[in-house]
Structure 1
Amino acid sequence: MRLSIFDTIDSTLALLDERNDLYHELEQQLKSDLYAIFEADAEMIVDIFSRVKTRESLREKIIRNRFYINYDNSEDILDNLSDLIGVSIECRFIEEEYKVLKRLREYFIVPDEASGYFYNENHPELFLDTASRQPQVQKNGFSIYRIDGFIMHNGMKINFELQIKALVHAFWGDIEHKLVYKNTNYYVYDSFMVDILSSIKANLTIIDRQLSIIYNQMQNSSMSDVSISEKSFEKIVTKAINDLFAMKMNESIGFTINLKSTSSILGHYIFIKDIRHSSMNNDRISLLFKTFKKVNNSQMDFENEIVLDGDFSSNDPFIQILGEYLVSVINIDYDWYVFFKMLFFIEPGNNTEDFVLFLKVIKNYLVDDYWLKTSFVRLSMSESVMVQDECAAILARSLVAIKTIAIIDDDKMIAVNKAFVLFIQELETRVINYSDFMNYKEAYYHDWLNRMNHIFNR
């Protein structure tokens, strides 16, 4: 004979399915209302996430929390489920968690005598327990900003749980959730496990503080101080990339290669593309933080080939030559494979477009486009353009000849940039016209390749 507990579970899940459309409608409305409430404070809000309790999660909770004993029927179970709808407001830094709470307390100020919760006249259907003691201490000993609330809809009370988390706390919460809460293997949650989790959380808290200090300094300090802060911020970005992708590689193929060099290159690329040239724009920083969280929560494949979303071609000779080479080795040279796996995951959108953008950023870093276009001014305008393109092609060919990802190492790119400036200045004194240049082009190329070999110790 089947246990009655499973009849209770089945009827509760059936009722959840019956009300599913309503719950999701209210979930989206709740998110929309919260976005509106924080419109004036949008800068510190990274995102607002929400979900309706899933069948699997509800089934587990009914058993784990003994709802089948504490409540008489399925409707009572759903009506008393505190996190039927879950909402998480994610902010950038730990210090902003309280600011979010403070904003909610300032908004939900009208007391409801029946529930003891508070509402706002602009949202009379939303009720929050903003007077509750915050943050709350969890069973694991760690604290969290967690506020109970409910929505009134046609006389029906639908509970929701609102959490406020800085990004590093969201990272840590995901780790703990996987290690302990959702892990069906037997683990003794003893002092050793507590110490390990405490150590993880402490390290994340330190990172949060470093990010906050650097961010505030970049917002307020002089340009001379910003250069120091930029380096610090870039190092933190690089470390986050290294640690997150190392974990994902181990999950995918069972081991991890040394990603420090690749992470450093990718971190610097992201920094010069997104952060430095956007003057530390808040939206870019928030998007970067959200990307790290996405990496943390996603599965990655480090075994199967990279397939570009479209055909690659460019009218720029530098981009075409270097791009053709990279396309040819992207699934052969594992260093480049890993680099582009990481890059395409971090960069949203079409990976062919991201690939071309990467090549443009590298070219601009190696060769100042304005400077190159003002070279060979003794020639006619049409001939100077053709010689400039040929020089860019010589540079691209030499990068291909080096045959290593080290061509985008920051120190190497700086050395190449300086050497190429000198090389062009010397050519300007020699080249009479385009025809003359083409007669000696291969000699010029080998001269430049020797300089490149010296830079790369070949």
Structure 2
Amino acid sequence: MRLKVFDTIDDTLRLLDSNMPLYREAVEEIHDYLKYLFVGQDMIVDMNSRIKSKESLREKIIRNRFYVENDTAQQILDHLSDLIGFIIECRFIEDEFHVLKHLRETLNQKNAEDGYYYHEQNPNFFLDVQSRQPQIQKNGFAIYRIDGYYLKNGHKINVELQIKALVHSFWGDIEHKLVYKNTNYYVYDDFMKELLGSIKANLTLTDHQLKIIYDQMQEESRLDTGITENSFEQLISKEINDLFALKLNESIGFTLNLKKTSAILGHYIFIKDIRYDGGNNDRISALFRTFRKMNAIKMDFENEIEMDANFHSQDIFIHTLGNHLISVLNKDYDWFVFFKMLFAIEPGNNMEDFTLFLNVIKNYLVDNYWLNTSFLKLPMEEAELVHNECAKILAVSLCEIGRIDIIHDDKMIAINKAFVTFIEELETRVISYHDFMQYQQAYYEEWLNRLKEIFS
């Protein structure tokens, strides 16, 4: 006698087949609507869709024991969250959050019955956009996955929407084929997890490198001055180096090697005044007029810089590093010269310039989006506390190194790479905020040893 489960499966597959024309129409309408929602959003690369296949549905009914929880074929389809699946592909990992943010801003009407959201122009398409994202999968990795449904001809059709960067789509294919569909996976469980984790880490690094290249290409296409972003930044750095080498010699009778200090100042000025000002020609001209004006005045590299000792910032990294730098800038001559240069270039209030510079340094060393989406296994409040503690660990360790080369370009690149690795390792070890604080000193010493290797 045949098992009842296979009769249930056959009934469900027949129902799926009979509803297929309805599902195909729904896919086309949802696809058109999503394209409409993201018109003009250049971060979107592609949108893919699929209807659950018979083979996949048969497997899922057994794997997830749907035949136990549901009595009829219709109930199974009603509880199948991914009957229709959509993937919005974006260029880079950081764009995943921006896509979600756009959906949250657009689908801003809440359905009182189930808490899902829709846009008033289309009351048939609902998504749970306010759910916590990204979600943690069984494999421990994060994914932007949003449940929803579509109302059509009296039917409620469940929809699953995923948001994936190109590297995450590639990663998903690898994992699905090598793990989810591989019956031998469990024999090599630990080995496969370690190997796949390494692959994903490399893909994340690739995404970061591609983003840098893409941004560079975009900037080069926008600048109409005949030079690239990189060459313009180098030009600013050279102007700074030449100007202050002369001024330093005039003030104290000799000069120092200012190339690396000038390079970080050039990067800071370019980021603050040029890149995010759209390459405004008036601002660029004003910058070089400032250089020419400073060349005509005498500068003092002997008397102290006056700063407000009561520096405070809501950001723990900026607060910690900022207070340290204020305590040493009139004691350590390298830092003294650096901030003399910074405050001479910037015409505004010294403390405002100081704070802006610290923000640029933090963004250079720590990607806020990356850090804030780490430790997702912890409750949201605990994760935020751990994020702050990790930022503080980084700031305190930089204070301990102390030398001005902590802001040199090559060192900051190395620090960023090492810190990313350190946090990814911590994610696998920390099980709660209390656990993190219990071993905080040990974590700090472990990180400090890695940092010292960069400066050895």
TM-score by length of 2: 0.50
TM-score by length of 1: 0.50
